[in-house]
């Protein structure tokens, strides 16, 4: 059980959290069943219908190559959500490992590990992200160029976002380490690794979950920032960020190209932020 029964009850009582949870579920479903839900193939060009606005055959219109925007948006959900969630998961594992080692061992190991994190944190996130993305992109990790840019995006985003997870885990582990029940398990002869896994980590799951939820919208944001700067995914794959970037330049004449991906990004980020708030209040009712 990741959240205890009381917190769960409090979470279920919050309407905002439930609605945002439902929205997220909807977005995830759309992302998973994209091929079934999209009315047209995402890369099919309808050359007689270029840059049409909202219509009955193309609900969200078509883009400059005559592709159906709704289908592109649905497939975009797939890519944006996958990138955001996988990044959060990678950052979660690195953060847990790094943070618990640092916090549990303490002493000079802790100092060295934390100083290294401080140095990483002294570079503004987007600058770091740009550098790392350029680096991973040019490393030729896989032959397929589309997969390469996807993999580069995942690695670069994880490289930036694991730091805050590691900081949180370390702070929590430091706090838990002094708790009586942890000391009790140690004095009863449990090994350090066992106390950490069995007693400390399960008890810090709450705050970790909250941060994990908050990290998904920030990943969506950073992914679209990179796409915006021209360091994003390769066509024909298009995340919401790529679509919004294509759209804003023609905002004045073809606003529909910008509006739909914009609204999608906004709704996704809002739902995750609201769910994060709900989780935080449910786990720590005092914070409300």
Beta partners for residue 62, in sequence order: 68
Q: Which is nearer to another protein, 189 or 230 (CB)?
A: 230
Q: Which is nearer to another protein, 21 or 195 (CB)?
A: 21
Instruction: Report, in angstroms and rounded to the nearest whole number, the Rg of the chain calculated over CA atoms.
Output: 22
Helix (H, G, I), strand (E, B) or coil at 134: helix
Shortest distance (Å) from residue 20 CB to another protein: 10
Give the Cα separation of 186 and 194 in Å (integer): 9
Interface residue list for another protein (CB under 8 A): 118-119, 122-127, 130-132, 134-135, 138-140, 217, 221, 224-225, 228-231, 244-245, 248, 251-252, 255, 258, 262, 265-266, 269-270, 273-274, 277, 287
Shortest distance (Å) from residue 220 CB to another protein: 9
Q: Which is nearer to another protein, 53 or 191 (CB)?
A: 53
Whether the CB-CB separation of 211 and 165 falls below 8 Å is answered with yes
Q: Which is nearer to another protein, 199 or 214 (CB)?
A: 214
Q: Which is nearer to another protein, 107 or 230 (CB)?
A: 230
CA dihedral sign, ordered 256, 32, 125, 233: negative
Q: Which is nearer to another protein, 45 or 250 (CB)?
A: 250
Shortest distance (Å) from residue 76 CB to another protein: 14
Shortest distance (Å) from residue 102 CB to another protein: 18
- Tokens representing 173 are 């582990």
Give the Cα separation of 75 and 72 in Å (integer): 5
- Tokens representing 277 are 């708030």
Shortest distance (Å) from residue 56 CB to another protein: 27
Please report the DSSP string for 211-259 in residue order: HHHHHHHHHHHHHHHHHHTT-SPPTT---HHHHHHHHHTTTTT-THHHH
Report the candidate in 194, 223, 192 with the shortest Cα–Cα distance to residue 79.
Answer: 223
Shortest distance (Å) from residue 264 CB to another protein: 10
């Amino acid at each position: 059980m990741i959240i205890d029964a009381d917190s769960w009850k409090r979470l279920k009582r919050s309407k905002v959290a439930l609605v945002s949870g439902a929205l997220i579920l909807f977005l995830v479903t759309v992302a998973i069943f994209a091929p079934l839900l999209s009315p047209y193939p995402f890369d099919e060009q309808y050359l007689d219908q270029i840059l049409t606005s909202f219509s009955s055959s193309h609900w969200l219109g078509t883009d400059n190559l005559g592709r159906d925007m709704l289908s592109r948006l649905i497939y975009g959900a797939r890519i944006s959500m996958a990138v955001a969630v996988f990044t959060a998961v990678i950052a979660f594992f690195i953060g847990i490992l790094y943070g618990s080692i640092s916090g549990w061992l303490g002493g000079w190991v802790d100092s060295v590990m934390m100083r290294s994190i401080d140095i990483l944190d002294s570079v503004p996130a987007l600058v770091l992200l740009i550098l790392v993305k350029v680096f991973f992109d040019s490393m030729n990790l896989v032959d397929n160029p589309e997969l390469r840019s996807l993999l580069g995006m995942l690695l670069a985003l994880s490289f930036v976002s694991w730091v805050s997870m590691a900081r949180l885990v370390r702070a929590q582990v430091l706090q838990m380490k002094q708790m009586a029940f942890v000391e009790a398990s140690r004095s009863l002869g449990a090994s350090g690794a066992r106390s950490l896994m069995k007693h400390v980590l399960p008890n810090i799951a709450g705050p970790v979950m909250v941060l994990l939820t908050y990290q998904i919208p920030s990943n969506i944001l950073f992914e679209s920032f990179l796409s915006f700067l021209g360091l994003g995914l390769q066509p024909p794959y298009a995340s919401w960020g790529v679509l919004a970037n294509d759209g804003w330049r023609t905002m004045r004449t073809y606003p529909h190209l910008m509006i739909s991906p914009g609204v999608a990004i906004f709704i996704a980020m809002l739902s995750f932020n609201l769910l994060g708030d709900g989780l935080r209040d449910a786990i720590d009712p005092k914070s409300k």
